[in-house]
């Protein structure tokens, strides 16, 4: 019993040793293959270095700007657009609400009055969206602010893709309406309800 155990163990050991040899040889080969490290000096390539400059006008994947209004909020002549570049559905507004609450509410507050927790804790207070200047601002302005930042507010272009930026703008429009709705624009039933509340009934 003891002897056979020892034999098995020896066989296992040999097997492992052989495997280790093979495996290390394999990794060794990959490590030692001929290659150039970044910025390594070489006579093979122009400029004498392994790293080559990016070809002019190279556009990284996902950054193709083939629809100027959609990706900048401005038309070809540089004017801020006044209409959304795609039809806004309820789903878009709901997605905009979700994104707004993640990216903007911390500073701008959940209703966009500028009283987010970050502002309450000392960050320069953002303006309220509920003022005539911003109510009358074209949708392209909001898109442009998210894309390029505005004064002390940083750009959110890297965190928020253009589709979602437009959805956030749509939600800001909904927020503006929520704080500045005309009674006459409400459905008749809601108008009656409101009158009841106001007359104390
Ligand atoms: C870190 C805090 C912070 C966050 C987050 C933030 N903002 Fe702002 N925002 C500001 C501040 C501060 C200002 C005022 C900047 C100034 O006037 O220097 C501002 C200004 C604005 C304005 C007004 C521009 C004008 O014409 O006066 C808009 C619109 C706006 N932000 C939209 C957004 C949207 C949309 C988001 C989310 C994608 C967002 N902000 C996220 C801090 C923030």
Say yes or no to pLDDT of 112 above 90: yes
Say yes or no to pLDDT of 13 above 90: no
Name which residue sits closest to atom 3 of ligand 1, judged by CA: 107
Q: Give the pLDDT mean for 31-47.
A: 88
Distance from the alpha carbon of residue 197 to the mean position of ligand 1, in angstroms: 36
Say yes or no to pLDDT of 118 above 70: yes
Distance from the alpha carbon of residue 153 to the mean position of ligand 1, in angstroms: 5
User: How far is the C-alpha of 6 from the C-alpha of 48, rounded, in Å?
Assistant: 60
Say yes or no to pLDDT of 65 above 90: no
User: pLDDT digits over 80-106, tens only?
Assistant: 999 999 999 999 999 999 999 999 999
Q: What is the mean pLDDT of the chain?
A: 90
Residue 18 banded pLDDT, cuts 50, 70, 90: confident
Name which residue sits closest to atom 2 of ligand 1, judged by CA: 107
Q: Please say whether the beta carbons of 40 and 50 come within 8 A.
A: yes
Write down the pLDDT at residue 2.
Answer: 53
Write down the pLDDT at residue 32.
Answer: 81
Q: Cα 97 vs. chain centroid, distance in angstroms?
A: 14
Write down the pLDDT at residue 109.
Answer: 97
Token pair listed for 77? 């002549």
Cβ contacts of 2 within 8 Å, gap of 6 or more: none
User: pLDDT digits over 191-201, tens only?
Assistant: 999 999 988 86
């Amino acid at each position: 019993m003891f002897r056979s155990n020892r034999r098995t163990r020896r066989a296992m050991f040999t097997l492992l040793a052989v495997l280790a040899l093979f495996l290390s040889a394999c990794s060794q080969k990959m490590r030692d293959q001929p290659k150039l490290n970044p910025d390594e000096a070489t006579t093979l390539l122009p400029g004498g270095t392994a790293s080559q400059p990016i070809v002019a006008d190279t556009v990284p994947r996902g950054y193709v700007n083939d629809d100027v209004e959609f990706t900048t909020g401005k038309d070809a002549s540089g004017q801020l657009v006044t209409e959304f570049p795609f039809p806004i559905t309820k789903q878009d507004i709901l997605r905009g609400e979700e994104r707004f609450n993640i990216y903007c509410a911390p500073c701008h507050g959940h209703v966009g009055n500028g009283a987010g927790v970050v502002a309450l804790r000392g960050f320069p207070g953002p303006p309220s969206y509920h003022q005539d200047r911003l109510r009358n601002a074209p949708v392209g302005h909001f898109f442009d602010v998210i894309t390029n930042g505005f004064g002390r507010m940083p750009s959110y272009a890297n965190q928020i893709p253009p589709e979602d930026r437009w959805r956030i703008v749509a939600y800001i429009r909904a927020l503006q309406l929520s704080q500045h709705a005309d009674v006459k624009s409400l459905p008749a039933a809601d108008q009656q309800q409101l009158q009841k509340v106001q007359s104390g009934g």
